[in-house]
Structure 1
Amino acid sequence: MKKLLVLLLFLVPAMAPATASADAGLAPDLGRAAALIGEAAKWEVENKRVPSVAVAIVGPEGVRWSGTWGKADAEGKVPATPETIYRAGSVSKLFTDVAVMRLVEQGKLNLDAPVSTYLPSFKPRNPFGGQITLRQLMTHRSGLVREAPRGNYFDIAPKGQADSVLSLNETSLVAAPGTITKYSNAGIAVVGEVVARVTGMPYEQAVSTLVFRPLGMASSGMTAAPFQGRIAYSEMAAFDGPRIPAPPIELGTPAAGSLFTTLGDLGRFAQAMLNRGKLPDGVLLKPATLDEMWRRQFPGDASTRGYGIGFALSQIDGQRVVGHGGAIYGHVTDVLIMPDSGIAVVAFATVDSSNSAGKLADYALRTVAAIAKGANPPAFGTGTLVTGPDAKRLSGWFTNGKASVSTRIYNEHLVIDAPELVGDIRRTANGFIVEDAQTRYDKLAIADDGSWIDLAGTRYTRGTMPEPPQPAADFAALVGNYGWDHNVIRIYERDGRPFAWVEWVDHMPLTRVDANRYAFPKQGGLYPLEALTFERNAKGAVTALSLSGIRFPRRDFGAEIEAKVRSDMQTGGAALRAEALKASPPKEIRPKPSDLVALTSVDPTIRLDIRYAGTNNFLGTPVYESSAAFLQRPAAEALGRVNQALRKRGFGLLIHDAYRPWFVTKMFWDASPPSSRMFVADPSQGSRHNRGAAVDLTMFELKTGKPIVTTGRYDEFSTRSYSNFVGGTDHQRWLREVLRSAIEAEGFDVYPEEWWHFDYGDWRDYPIGNQTFEELGKKAK
Structure 2
Amino acid sequence: MMKRLLAWIIVLVAPAAALAQAPDPALDRAAALIADAAQWEVREKQIPSIAVAIIGPEGVRWSGAWGKADAAGKVPASADTVYRAGSVSKLFTDVAVMKLVEQGKLKLDVPVRTYLPTFQPKNPFGGEITLRQLMTHRSGLVRESPRGNYFDITPKDQADSVLSINETTLVAAPGSITKYSNAGIAVVGEVIARVTGMPFEKALHALVLDPLGMTSSGLTAAPFAGRIAHSEMAAFDGPRVAAPPIELGMPAAGSLYTTTGDLGRFAQALLNKGEIPSGRMLKAASLDEMWRRQYPASGARIFGLGFVVADMDGKRVVGHGGAIYGHSTQLLVMPEAGLGVVAFTTVDASNPITNKLADYALRTVLALKTGTEAPSYAKGELVTGAEAKRLSGWFTNGKQSVSTRIYAGHLVIDAPELVGDVRRTPTGFMVEDAQTRFDKLAIADDASWIEVGGVRYARDEMPEPPLPNAELAALIGDYGWAHNVLRIYERDGRPFVWIEWTEHTELTRTAADHYAFPTDRGLYPFETLTFERDAAGAVTAANLGGIRFPRRDFGAEVEAKVRAGVQANFAGLRAAALAATPPSEPPSAKPSDLYAITKADPTIRLDIRYAGTNNFMGIPVYESARAFLQRPAAEALSRVNQALRKRGYGLLIHDAYRPWYVTKMFWDASPVSSRMFVADPSQGSRHNRGAAVDLTMFELATGKPMETTGRYDEFSTRSYSNFVGGTDHQRWLREVLRSAIEAEGFDVYPEEWWHFDYGNWRDYPIGNKTFEELEGRKRR
Same fold (TM over 0.5): yes
Is the Cα–Cα contact under 8 Å of residues 382 and 428 in structure 1 kept in the other structure?
yes
Mapping for residues 82-93 of structure 1, pairs under 5 Å: 82-93=79-90
Q: 1:670 to 1:34 in 2, by over 3 A?
A: closer
Specify the alignment match of 2:92 in structure 1. Answer: 95
Specify the alignment match of 1:446 in structure 2. Answer: 443
Specify the alignment match of 1:734 in structure 2. Answer: 732
* TM-superposition CA deviations, 1:480-518 (whole Å, max 9, x none): 000011001000000100000000000000011222111
Is the Cα–Cα contact under 8 Å of residues 570 and 672 in structure 1 kept in the other structure?
no
Tell whether 2:650 aligns with 1:638.
no
Mapping for residues 43-58 of structure 1, pairs under 5 Å: 43-58=40-55
Is the Cα–Cα contact under 8 Å of residues 568 and 672 in structure 1 kept in the other structure?
no
Distance (Å, rounded) in 2 between the aligned partners of 1:134 and 1:533: 30
Kindly state the Cα deviation for residue 19 of structure 1 after the two structures are TM-superposed. Answer: 2.4
Mapping for residues 256-267 of structure 1, pairs under 5 Å: 256-267=253-264
Q: 1:763 to 1:321 in 2, by over 3 A?
A: same
Is the Cα–Cα contact under 8 Å of residues 693 and 755 in structure 2 kept in the other structure?
yes
* TM-superposition CA deviations, 1:228-283 (whole Å, max 9, x none): 11111100000000000000001000000000111111111111111111112311
Mapping for residues 526-541 of structure 1, pairs under 5 Å: 526-541=523-538
| Aligned with residue 80 of structure 1, among 54, 77, 96 | 77
| Aligned with residue 388 of structure 2, among 379, 385, 391 | 391
Is the Cα–Cα contact under 8 Å of residues 399 and 460 in structure 1 kept in the other structure?
yes
CA RMSD in angstroms comes to 1.7
Specify the alignment match of 2:3 in structure 1. Answer: none
Tell whether 2:303 aligns with 1:307.
yes
- 1:168 maps to a residue whose letter is I
Where do 5+ consecutive residues of structure 1 fail to align? 1-13
| Aligned with residue 470 of structure 1, among 464, 467, 470 | 467
* TM-superposition CA deviations, 1:392-448 (whole Å, max 9, x none): 000000011111000000000000000110000011111111110000000011112
Q: 1:466 to 1:675 in 2, by over 3 A?
A: closer
- 2:257 maps to a residue whose letter is F
Tell whether 2:678 aligns with 1:705.
no
Distance (Å, rounded) in 1 between the aligned partners of 2:463 and 2:151: 39
Distance (Å, rounded) in 2 between the aligned partners of 1:673 and 1:481: 21
Kindly state the Cα deviation for residue 666 of structure 1 after the two structures are TM-superposed. Answer: 3.3
Kindly state the Cα deviation for residue 580 of structure 1 after the two structures are TM-superposed. Answer: 4.2
Kindly state the Cα deviation for residue 353 of structure 1 after the two structures are TM-superposed. Answer: 0.4
Specify the alignment match of 1:586 in structure 2. Answer: 583
Kindly state the Cα deviation for residue 585 of structure 1 after the two structures are TM-superposed. Answer: 2.8
Specify the alignment match of 1:278 in structure 2. Answer: 275
Specify the alignment match of 2:162 in structure 1. Answer: 165
Kindly state the Cα deviation for residue 576 of structure 1 after the two structures are TM-superposed. Answer: 5.2
Specify the alignment match of 1:694 in structure 2. Answer: 692
Tell whether 2:268 aligns with 1:238.
no
Specify the alignment match of 2:506 in structure 1. Answer: 509
Tell whether 2:653 aligns with 1:659.
no
Counterpart secondary structure, 1:306: coil
Counterpart secondary structure, 1:21: strand
Of residues 386-395 and 103-112 in structure 1, the stretch that sits farther from structure 2 once superposed is 103-112
Counterpart secondary structure, 1:104: helix
Is the Cα–Cα contact under 8 Å of residues 19 and 60 in structure 2 kept in the other structure?
no
Specify the alignment match of 1:330 in structure 2. Answer: 326
- 1:251 maps to a residue whose letter is L
Counterpart secondary structure, 1:32: helix
Kindly state the Cα deviation for residue 223 of structure 1 after the two structures are TM-superposed. Answer: 1.1
| Aligned with residue 343 of structure 1, among 339, 347, 356 | 339
Kindly state the Cα deviation for residue 574 of structure 1 after the two structures are TM-superposed. Answer: 6.0
* TM-superposition CA deviations, 1:308-337 (whole Å, max 9, x none): 010001111110100000000000110000
Specify the alignment match of 1:120 in structure 2. Answer: 117
| Aligned with residue 767 of structure 2, among 766, 769, 779 | 769
| Aligned with residue 406 of structure 2, among 409, 412, 430 | 409
Kindly state the Cα deviation for residue 676 of structure 1 after the two structures are TM-superposed. Answer: 7.3
Kindly state the Cα deviation for residue 25 of structure 1 after the two structures are TM-superposed. Answer: 6.0
* TM-superposition CA deviations, 1:632-662 (whole Å, max 9, x none): 1110111001001111111100000001122
Is the Cα–Cα contact under 8 Å of residues 695 and 757 in structure 1 kept in the other structure?
yes
Is the Cα–Cα contact under 8 Å of residues 320 and 330 in structure 2 kept in the other structure?
yes
Distance (Å, rounded) in 2 between the aligned partners of 1:377 and 1:368: 8
- 2:594 maps to a residue whose letter is L
| Aligned with residue 523 of structure 1, among 498, 514, 520 | 520
- 2:382 maps to a residue whose letter is L
| Aligned with residue 184 of structure 2, among 183, 187, 190 | 187
* TM-superposition CA deviations, 1:72-102 (whole Å, max 9, x none): 1000111111111110000000001000011
Mapping for residues 742-753 of structure 1, pairs under 5 Å: 742-753=740-751
Counterpart secondary structure, 2:442: strand
Kindly state the Cα deviation for residue 214 of structure 1 after the two structures are TM-superposed. Answer: 1.3
Is the Cα–Cα contact under 8 Å of residues 115 and 132 in structure 1 kept in the other structure?
yes
Is the Cα–Cα contact under 8 Å of residues 562 and 669 in structure 2 kept in the other structure?
no
**Identity percentage over the alignment?**
75
Distance (Å, rounded) in 2 between the aligned partners of 1:69 and 1:24: 25
- 1:766 maps to a residue whose letter is Y
Counterpart secondary structure, 1:639: helix
Where do 5+ consecutive residues of structure 2 fail to align? 1-10
* TM-superposition CA deviations, 1:378-401 (whole Å, max 9, x none): 111111100000000000000111
Mapping for residues 177-256 of structure 1, pairs under 5 Å: 177-256=174-253
Q: 1:24 to 1:602 in 2, by over 3 A?
A: farther
Relative contact order higher in (CA < 8 Å, ≥ 6 apart)? 1
Q: 1:583 to 1:225 in 2, by over 3 A?
A: closer
Specify the alignment match of 2:599 in structure 1. Answer: 601
Kindly state the Cα deviation for residue 22 of structure 1 after the two structures are TM-superposed. Answer: 4.0
Kindly state the Cα deviation for residue 573 of structure 1 after the two structures are TM-superposed. Answer: 4.9
Kindly state the Cα deviation for residue 663 of structure 1 after the two structures are TM-superposed. Answer: 2.7
- 1:226 maps to a residue whose letter is P
* TM-superposition CA deviations, 1:583-621 (whole Å, max 9, x none): 543333101111111111111110000001111111111
Kindly state the Cα deviation for residue 572 of structure 1 after the two structures are TM-superposed. Answer: 6.3
Counterpart secondary structure, 2:688: helix
Is the Cα–Cα contact under 8 Å of residues 304 and 314 in structure 1 kept in the other structure?
no
Q: 1:746 to 1:26 in 2, by over 3 A?
A: farther
Kindly state the Cα deviation for residue 449 of structure 1 after the two structures are TM-superposed. Answer: 1.6
Counterpart secondary structure, 1:313: strand
Kindly state the Cα deviation for residue 774 of structure 1 after the two structures are TM-superposed. Answer: 2.0
Counterpart secondary structure, 1:33: helix
Q: 1:670 to 1:455 in 2, by over 3 A?
A: closer
Is the Cα–Cα contact under 8 Å of residues 629 and 659 in structure 1 kept in the other structure?
yes
Distance (Å, rounded) in 2 between the aligned partners of 1:246 and 1:625: 41
Q: 1:502 to 1:576 in 2, by over 3 A?
A: closer
Distance (Å, rounded) in 1 between the aligned partners of 2:417 and 2:15: 36
Counterpart secondary structure, 2:101: helix
Tell whether 2:17 aligns with 1:20.
yes
Distance (Å, rounded) in 1 between the aligned partners of 2:410 and 2:514: 38
Distance (Å, rounded) in 2 between the aligned partners of 1:581 and 1:739: 35
| Aligned with residue 318 of structure 1, among 306, 310, 314 | 314
Counterpart secondary structure, 1:181: coil
Kindly state the Cα deviation for residue 677 of structure 1 after the two structures are TM-superposed. Answer: 6.2
Is the Cα–Cα contact under 8 Å of residues 114 and 134 in structure 1 kept in the other structure?
yes
Is the Cα–Cα contact under 8 Å of residues 677 and 751 in structure 2 kept in the other structure?
no
Specify the alignment match of 1:5 in structure 2. Answer: none
Counterpart secondary structure, 1:415: strand
- 1:349 maps to a residue whose letter is T
Distance (Å, rounded) in 1 between the aligned partners of 2:48 and 2:573: 39
Counterpart secondary structure, 2:143: coil
Q: 1:526 to 1:35 in 2, by over 3 A?
A: same
Kindly state the Cα deviation for residue 674 of structure 1 after the two structures are TM-superposed. Answer: 7.4
Is the Cα–Cα contact under 8 Å of residues 20 and 61 in structure 2 kept in the other structure?
no
Counterpart secondary structure, 1:477: helix
Distance (Å, rounded) in 1 between the aligned partners of 2:356 and 2:672: 40
Kindly state the Cα deviation for residue 285 of structure 1 after the two structures are TM-superposed. Answer: 1.1
